[in-house]
Structure 1
């Protein structure tokens, strides 16, 4: 319906407004009452309303032509060309018809009136169309830039996901390797747990999961690691019962837990806690480390991967603090839910 209005109704209606404006101005200047003239002359003038289609076609053609040019001319030059085309159409087509069909022919003020008024009206029409086309083009370019940015984001997230899997597998397979020497049955159980963990990792990193599912995944990993740790490990895990149905992006907690198990030493303890505070997921992991290891620990690929994913998935809505002391290492992660 909108296209029908623009293409068939508006050109005639706009030309009618122009014609009415010219007649009213003429009536004021000359005192000629155009509404008292013969119906034949009025009918001929009504037929001239169809010239609106010609003006509309030509102006839209010029607009497309200038929009498609690699380097469009200046706005002033473009408007002068458009105004010249309008004047040529008016003086070459409308004025002769008015001269030969009108009762009085064409006086000088008729020429000025019939040239100036349509030029101003149709130039205004062109300016508005040009502004709308420029806004539409700018909007489309903005959408294209956003699409390119989103594609780049997805590509980087896929790369980080591909990078995360080998890192996780490397640590998990190390566990299975050492268990093979001690107990094949335990190693088989570990492989079974590992398959459950890998199944969870099939989630798209740009699709959220419930916090409960993420914490359950973390607990499965803890159970997997406990099977290879000795009985001297002091492990404390505290989970806030309020954390369940909230949504979070997956695989953001595991790198911190994985690091704790990887570097635990010294007094040999690990503390893990997760709580809900004012709409934020507050996750804490700390572990004892040997004094020698404290001096050389830098975090590795897992933490760098985590930092980048947090920056992409939670820009301005997260905080990650890493602290290293003489005998312990801690990581505090806050995510807005």
Structure 2
């Protein structure tokens, strides 16, 4: 039997169980035997009990959905939730069971009112408590799985970073050697080596949990200077970085570079790159736009892993506090990163 079928049948069966309990308790008090009554009266009560089962199930499900949406659970909120459900159930009892009892047998007696006020409410509170516990266990399990996945992704990222450090260390030491071997008159080569060394030094020795935004911008300026040296004649570069107040802003390192690196890697067409950053209302907005070749071959190129890795890092470091937007038309590629700082 499928779970969907069970969910469909459950309210009717549960409603009949509640009706049987109410009927037995009332018969014990009144000395009656409900199976000796007119069959039409029993049929009406049984039919109404089935309908009432679906009504009560709908009410309880509404409270269960509201409970699942809550992020924090505590004794105060749980007590308030149960009291609200009890009041709602009592109101539904008055609307449904009380009129049914008033028009059958000898009307609504005092024991009818007590039994109807207690038995259906207790049964549905029991169902709510059981279903709520199952939902909380499922939610806790999902959160545990999510935490384990985030931990695994973070460990993999750290492992990849440690593996990648070998190459920067080797290059950094080699560049220091080459720098002193280059002729003093060759200023362009010495400039390029010096800038590349600064980039590697930042990656190797300036990695902390967070860094001042000003240092991250210095790193970007160094990278841009190196790229400008490489493609000065073909580059139309515009940089607008709002640096006021960034001395107190902290940011995780190497989050802005992938967007700039991607622009220099794929720039084409008019050779234009525009880089802009603003800070407004505790939100950092970093925007990079570059022209791209208007060629069919470019459309076939697959996106690199730089932006994909950036998205994964943002998910880990700034969960629900970031937005990465990319858009492409026939001759430009735009990337916008928003971070709540």
- For the pair shown, the structure with the greater C-alpha radius of gyration is 1
